[in-house]
Amino acid sequence: MISTKKTDLLKRTDIFASLDSKELEGLAHLAVERRFAPDEFIFWEGQPAHWFYIVQEGQVKVSKYSPSGREFIVAFFTPGEMFGEVAVFQGKPYPASACAVGETRVVGIRRDDFLSFLATHPSVSLKIIHVLGERLRSAHTRLRDLAAERAEGRLANILLMLASKLGPTLPFTRQELADMTGLTPETTIRVMSRFRDRKIVRSGRGKTTILDEAALRRIGEGLPLN
């Protein structure tokens, strides 16, 4: 019995949930646990992608940086979710950087090991297709959003998307919300203040609680702020 902890974790991920304990055991042999301090980077955009990861504990922020140095947050990942996989499947460098948000533990699996594992476990491929499909769908929705909505709509939609994943209380600063919407921190603060005044959210330092989801949904649909 190698590592109950690792098999347990793997068991709790979407893509490996269907494996039996023997298969999990085999996979756990390939998995390496790594620990990261807050704000420590797990990989950088452009690096060769030798590893694919699953969040074990904490949160991981995946971002791309514009040439001017401005950050754009592509996604947040929570325990049980994989990241870094796109690059691994294609043998290309990572297309974005990954950074630990708080104290974070992840398990990594080497690209080669994972690809051979996949070759012998087709059901996992199907799960991965499912997950990638979901992410693609969400990316397209977000694209439409960035293209069509203005500040209030963008923020409303990001808040809704985050809430559907993390619950109504969101642990993000205005700066981070700005980095997810492509707005400036100032505009984000102003809009969030309007939301607060209208009792749509309650806000504290580094966190936001959604009070009126229906209102956000209306705003996100492009309807005027009342």
Partner DNA sequence: ACCCCTACATGATTTATGTCATAGAAGCCT
Partner DNA sequence: AGGCTTCTATGACATAAATCATGTAGGGGT
The conformation of residue 15, written as its DSSP 8-state character, comes to G
Judged by CB, which is closer to a copy of itself: 3, or 173? Answer: 173
Instruction: Give the shortest CB-155-to-a copy of itself separation in angstroms.
Output: 13
Q: Which helix (H) or strand (E) holds 210?
A: strand 207-210
> Binding mask 96-125 vs a copy of itself (x if CB under 8 A, - otherwise)?
x---------------------xx--x--x
Judged by CB, which is closer to DNA: 123, or 169? Answer: 169
Q: Does 177 bind a copy of itself (CB under 8 A)?
A: no
The first and second tokens of residue 141, run together, are 């929705």
Of 40, 73, 37, which Cα lies nearest the Cα of 173? Answer: 73
Among a copy of itself, DNA, none, the one that 118 touches (CB under a kind-dependent 5 to 8 A) is a copy of itself
Query: Taken in order 36, 65, 86, 16, is the CA torsion positive or negative?
Result: positive
In whole angstroms, what is the distance from residue 127 CA to residue 146 CA?
29
> Binding mask 146-175 vs DNA (x if CB under 7 A, - otherwise)?
----xxx--------------------xxx
Determine the Cα angle at 47 with ends 118 and 95, to 5°.
70
Among a copy of itself, DNA, none, the one that 160 touches (CB under a kind-dependent 5 to 8 A) is none
The first and second tokens of residue 194, run together, are 């309007």
Sites of contact with DNA (CB under 7 A): 150-152, 173-175, 182-187, 189-190, 192-193, 196, 203-206
